[in-house]
Amino acid sequence: MTERVVLAYSGGLDTSVCIGWIAAQTGAEIVAVAADVGQGGEDMDVIRQRALDCGAVESIVLDLKDEFANNYCLPALKANALYMERYPLVSALSRPTIVKALVDAAREHGASMVGHGCTGKGNDQVRFEVGIGALAPDLKVLAPVRDSGMTRDKAIAFAEERNLPIDVNKKSPYSIDQNVWGRAVETGFLEDVWNGPIEDIYSYTQNPATPRDPDEVVITFASGVPVAIDGRPVTMLEAIVELNKRAGAQGVGRLDMVEDRLVGIKSREVYEAPGAIALITAKQELENVTVERELARYKRGVSQRWSELVYDGLWFSPLKNALDAFLEEANAPVSGDIRMTLHAGRAVVTGRRSDQSLYDYNLATYDAEDTFDQSMAKGFIELFGMSSRIAMGRDARNK
């Protein structure tokens, strides 16, 4: 029986060439799997047919938008996940979604191998291979672009030699990855970190400097889940899509950063994530109203560690699973409404209300309604500072 390889297929030059390259090197049949995670701008039927025309024996397009939103973006929102406190894990979240689909497809189609088109310099090779190893350690992984030294010139020559139905004449100066959670742009002139980004690289966001009226939005959360916008019920996917449109129209969610890749390389990336940034900003503020102080302090550390694990490709890991359980508990009281103004590239919270609020007006006010007994403060300060006062006295005596 002929072996089969399930290939993560994007429809681009590299993965199209991978179909023929893997077949030539291994004699295996190729099952191409393309995942729709809300990247937009691509005709998935065209991509499906392209894989068949390039030699795949089967070509599958999976609509994973809701699964991606509910099972991957939502946990990231509950974690307020921002790698290096800025990057909302655009690509890092889609990779485990695709990994699970690849493993499921391998089981369904009797494949013994899984292939991807990642290079050896990026994070995605780790995310694919560690994820596949965790879910299906019996599957062999093929990485033709990385392991064969497949340069762009070699890929073009391979495609022309075999008359593959892909346009190899147009070369975008950028490498772009996008999904419903955001868009990542790198390479080209952006590799010089002194060069500023230009408007041509943006797609999800409008220029924040263009004069326009502000947009006020009210987002309703239930236990950390966005459930309504301006009083209208929404699914997680609908919430992201609407805020991508509304926050993106105001230029919200543009990021230009140099980040630390897992492989040790510093990489300059430009991101657009209007919906993600708007949702995270809103939920963080609702947490400020509803989450007890010590829990909130601890959660910030958990959020950072969760983001690092997912960025590093450890979505399918015991620690990440355990942190998910903590985050579910920490988000339990995060219910209520956040009012935001979207304008000039910023999402600014202007109002909060919640039945779970820990904010007590009578304790916070300095007016006549004040119920806080200020006489308690003196003794509290004496006790709070006692240990450091004693230690500092000792150190002063021993000098």
Spatial contact of 181 and 95, defined as CB atoms under 8 Å apart: no
The strand order across the sheet containing 4-8 reads 58-63, 29-36, 4-8, 113-115, 140-142
**Residue ranges of the binding site for ATP:** 8-16, 35, 117
Catalytic residue among 66, 104, 148, 175: 175
**Residue ranges of the binding site:** 8-16, 35, 87, 117, 119, 123-124, 127, 175, 259, 271
**Residue ranges of the binding site for L-citrulline:** 87, 123, 127, 175, 259, 271
Spatial contact of 117 and 141, defined as CB atoms under 8 Å apart: no
CA–CA distance from 331 to each of 110, 159, 290, 299 (Å)? 41, 50, 9, 10
Which SS3 state, helix, strand or coil, does residue 295 take?
helix
Residue 119: CA atoms inside 13 Å, Cβ hemisphere, count?
Answer: 8
Residue 167: CA atoms inside 13 Å, Cβ hemisphere, count?
Answer: 5
Is 14 considered catalytic here? yes
Catalytic residue among 14, 94, 177, 354: 14
In terms of Cβ atoms closer than 10 Å to its own Cβ (0-12, 13-18, 19+), residue 101 is: buried
Is 175 considered catalytic here? yes
Non-local CB neighbours of 170 within 8 Å, separated by 6+ positions: none
Q: How many CB atoms sit inside 10 A of residue 85's CB?
A: 11
Polymer length in residues for the chain: 399
Is 138 considered catalytic here? no
Catalytic residue among 48, 50, 95, 268: 95
Catalytic residue among 50, 59, 124, 177: 124
Position of tokens 């983001």?
307
Lookup: tokens for 151: 């340069």
In whole angstroms, give the CA distance from residue 184 to residue 98.
17
Sign of CA dihedral 307, 309, 315, 320: negative
Segment (H or E) for 153: helix 152-161
Catalytic residues: 14, 95, 124, 175
